[in-house]
Amino acid sequence: MFNGLADWWDGVELWLAQAWFPVQFVLVMVVVVPLCLAAAWVLDKVVGLFASRLAPGPDDDSDASA
């Protein structure tokens, strides 16, 4: 199974490496940029969730300024 996937990926990689530069650019803009933006959005939400759970709440008795 993994050999078939590796062979397929090698073919895609070879096709992309040999493609004309404007085709590579368009593929990056259409595929990679949205994936990176989605990954950054998810990472931001996950870090924000953990930060809100680790941050002291408004009803916390400890006074950090004193």
pLDDT at 61 over 80: no
Task: Give the residue with greater pLDDT, 29 vs 58.
Answer: 29
pLDDT confidence band for 37 (50 / 70 / 90): very high
Query: Do 64 and 56 form a contact (C-beta atoms < 8 A)?
Result: yes
In this prediction, residues 32-50 reach a mean pLDDT of 96
Which tokens belong to 66? 């004193």
Q: Work out the average pLDDT over 30-59.
A: 91
Amino acid at 57: G
